[in-house]
Structure 1
Amino acid sequence: MSDAIPVTILSGNLGAGKTTLLNHLLREAGDRDVAVLVNDMGDVNVDADLVADGSELDVDDGVTELSNGCICCELQDDLETAVVRLARDRSFDHLIVESSGISEPAPVARLFTAESRAAALYDVSSLVTVLDTRLFLDAFAGDGTPERRGTDADGRPLSDLLVDQIEVSNVVLLNKADLCSEAELAEAEELVLALRPDAETIRTEFSAVDPATLLDVDRFDPGAVNEMPGWKQALEGDDHGGDGAGAHGDHHHGHRHPDEVYGVTSFTYRRRRPFHPERLAAFLRDLPDGVVRSKGTLWVAGNDHRQVVGQAGPSVRVEAPSPWIASLPEVERDMYRSNRPDLDWHDEHGDRLTEYVVIGTDVDRDAIEAALDDCLVTDAEFEALDDGSFDADGPFPNEPGAEAVIREPTPAPNPGE
């Protein structure tokens, strides 16, 4: 039996109820000895004081407080030092790490799973995300979005962060359930299922949940297929043959495919013909309101780089991680191909391919696929590509590692202005 200390990593948007959950877990811990690491985005770590007051623990005794900042970013070294010191100085049964409401949980989990001093002492048991259910629904509801949806400290839309937090979670708490109708709660559950098919969802009020549900479990398995978010499972499950969208594969563990859930659909658009950059940009800027999440690789005409698009609610961003292998000089191309025998290679187009997963509520698949087909280059434009006369511009990056913002949320008007 391993002597490693189990770790629960807690994330969620600002105001969702993470600190309330933390206090609840400490109050109801029973005979468990729980250590906690908390941080806050303010100059003073308010969360540490709240947790200490709510659990009748002294900060110096039961709660270790990190200095100001995001524990998964600039304070990564501080976090590692803190967890190692905790394990060496105190005896406890379980560690809970509460990340800032503006940070992603995945880098925190990597600290405990990669080769490090912390990984030698701890095992991640689960990643838990707390949602303000009303805000979560509003973030993807299109019209009537409240002012609370905005951007994080780096200017990234909070809808992006909400999706990132859900897509790595093992457990999602739909908190403030008393503020939502039964239909709204069911919709939230189906959205989480589509984004993260293998996560357990739990409805809560004031973050009240049985501590055993979060602490006495071992859900985290970074090497398992079921650790994939919904869009990756859609790609892995699809039939890769042909130029079309492909058929859906079966999921394991008894989980329902999002297509089987009323109101929530998921499909993959797959083509071996490039997009016209201007028509594609126009499509991405005007996605149907029901599209909650879409992600994948795009082949854009006149661009030698793979375009990886990520959309969460109103936010659409594209990056160019690397060139298409087919666009490289022959010697490099042959080297890459020899090292990747399973590479999907087309005799004419090489590895150039669009694979784009769409997840949404009540979306019209046929209409979206038809609109995407209209964005593909015509035969005449394809000929222009071959003879070098193709002339079209667009916002897509053409340098390795470059990024572009295609669409951002429109800030809600301030009633006081």
Structure 2
Amino acid sequence: MFAPHRTPLVLLAGLGEPPVRLLADRLTAGTPATALVHHDLRHADDGIIRRRVRLGSAERIETVALDHGCVSCTLRRDLLPLLRGLSRRPEVERIVVQLDEALEPELVCHELHTALVDDTPVTEDVAVEAVVTVVDQASWLAAATGDTPLAEAGLHAGPGDDRTLAQAAVAQAEFADVLVLAGEAPDAWTAARTGAVLQRLAPRAALLDLCGTGTDRLLGAVPGDGHRGTPRDPHDPLVTGQPPLEADCGVTLTMFTAQRPFHPQRLHDALDVLLEGVVRTRGRVWLAGRPDDHLWLESAGGGLGIRLAGCWLDSPHAPAWEDVSPERRTLAALRWDPVWGDRVQELAVLSHRADPLLIDHELRRALLTDDELAAGPDRWHGYPDPFGTGHDEPCDDTAAAEPTSAGDRPTIRQEER
């Protein structure tokens, strides 16, 4: 149970607005103490967002102007104070937020925990009871494994949003406490493959069918070890829960680990192996010539990005041992090397039409050889590095040949936890 002053909050996500809206209506119909909030981003390119708030029989639809053209800033400025205001109304016992199809619930939850409203985070007033993602069985797998830009599908969170359907679909599913299956797959094979992917992508999430799912059944299915809106840390374990480790319908979860650095150019050349037949890759990367940089690699479908995620723990500017999470300390202690400290290559690769042995082979070819390792760090600094402060794939030859900088790509971000 939550503290009496914190109002339970349910976040609904998913590609395909009709089934998400249907579930939102089920969770609020006949319950006048449950407020429904929905920000519609379909007109963001026109500079506006349409906000719908319903409580009991009263519904209000208003237009919100984009804050300097940024959807994230606008939602932060509008949604967070709205949630705080609703939570403090005595007649509101629960809030349901129906997220736009383009939104990723983990990013919204990060704002809930970190953005300040009147000098305090909104999580002092609301507690995420569940993150629920609706999965359309007819189309989700194709979306999650393709490279279609959101904009081509008529979905995007404002100007400059260059994400793909795969990035949205995968991010929405893997952060869910409950996955609600809607519609029917076109055939038994697609249904089986979709189930196999979801079991490995979100092993802690409960699976329900949209038919007959209401408030009690949905909230009763939330697992005790669910995310419940707590953002993940790039230093946390890559695999949690108990995902099946055996292959099913060609779907395989593979762990790649090594305790020597990648050659930057060879890694860049090997990245194609993670863009064909792979649903999701997440993990930590260590590049030769960059001894302090803890890099985070993440792919979905045909798109991939590498970002700076802070420092390794034995780096000069690393946080103090006692200032990092117990999970990070434990992982570092288990793999600590007298020379390399906690530096490691650690990638979790969820594939559906790729050969796990080929993935492992290509990534190992990108590691430094014994001779390169013996040459030492001074030699490594001379290697060409196409990554700069971050990198996105696919890239053109010019971008691959020259280091990127923080000014080259507006999507590059540093994640220091």
Q: TM-score scaled to structure 1, two decimals?
A: 0.74
Deviation digits for residues 245-280 of structure 1 (CA, Å, limit 9, x no counterpart) = xxxxxx5xxx55243655322121111122121111
How many Å apart are 1:71 and its aligned residue?
7.6
By percentage of residues, which structure has more strand?
Answer: 2
How many Å apart are 1:7 and its aligned residue?
1.6
Local SS of the residue matching 1:39: strand
Partner of 2:295: 307
> CA 1:179–1:366 in structure 2 vs 1: closer, same or farther (change >3 Å)?
closer
How many Å apart are 1:337 and its aligned residue?
6.1
1:287 is aligned to 2:256: no
Q: How does 1:300-379 map to 2 (within 5 A)?
A: 300-304=287-291, 305-326=293-314, 328=316, 336=320, 342=330, 343=332, 344-361=335-352, 363-379=354-370
> CA 1:66–1:385 in structure 2 vs 1: closer, same or farther (change >3 Å)?
farther
1:67 is aligned to 2:64: yes
Task: Return 5+ residue gaps in structure 1 as ranges.
Answer: 237-250, 410-417
The sequence identity of aligned pairs, in percent, is 24
RMSD: 4.0
Q: How many residues align?
A: 371
How many Å apart are 1:172 and its aligned residue?
1.6
Taking the aligned partners of 2:164 and 2:35, their CA distance within structure 1 comes to 32
Partner of 1:13: 15
Opposite residue 201 of structure 1, the aligned amino acid is L
Q: How does 1:115-126 map to 2 (within 5 A)?
A: 116=120, 118-126=122-130
Q: How does 1:15-414 map to 2 (within 5 A)?
A: 15=17, 17-26=19-28, 29-30=29-30, 33-41=33-41, 42=43, 48=52, 57-60=57-60, 67-68=64-65, 73-89=73-89, 91-110=91-110, 116=120, 118-141=122-145, 148=153, 152-153=157-158, 154-175=161-182, 177-178=183-184, 180-204=186-210, 209-214=213-218, 219=223, 234-235=238-239, 251=241, 256-259=243-246, 261-287=248-274, 289-304=276-291, 305-326=293-314, 328=316, 336=320, 342=330, 343=332, 344-361=335-352, 363-386=354-377, 388=379, 391-397=382-388, 402-407=389-394
> CA 1:16–1:300 in structure 2 vs 1: closer, same or farther (change >3 Å)?
farther
Deviation digits for residues 5-56 of structure 1 (CA, Å, limit 9, x no counterpart) = 3221111235463223323444xx34563211111112666673xx97xx99
Taking the aligned partners of 1:84 and 1:95, their CA distance within structure 2 comes to 10
Q: TM-score scaled to structure 2, two decimals?
A: 0.74
Opposite residue 190 of structure 2, the aligned amino acid is E
Deviation digits for residues 353-386 of structure 1 (CA, Å, limit 9, x no counterpart) = 1111111225432222122111112233334444
Q: Name whichever of 283-292 and 115-124 sits farther off.
A: 115-124
Larger radius of gyration: 1
Local SS of the residue matching 1:280: helix
> CA 1:218–1:204 in structure 2 vs 1: closer, same or farther (change >3 Å)?
closer
Task: Return 5+ residue gaps in structure 2 as ranges.
Answer: 397-417
Question: Is the 8 Å Cα contact of residues 7 and 126 (structure 1) preserved in structure 2?
Answer: yes
Taking the aligned partners of 2:59 and 2:322, their CA distance within structure 1 comes to 57
Opposite residue 38 of structure 2, the aligned amino acid is V
Opposite residue 108 of structure 1, the aligned amino acid is V
> CA 1:192–1:227 in structure 2 vs 1: closer, same or farther (change >3 Å)?
farther
Local SS of the residue matching 2:351: strand
Local SS of the residue matching 1:392: coil
Deviation digits for residues 268-324 of structure 1 (CA, Å, limit 9, x no counterpart) = 111112212111111113436321111111121222322211111111100123344
> CA 1:105–1:144 in structure 2 vs 1: closer, same or farther (change >3 Å)?
closer
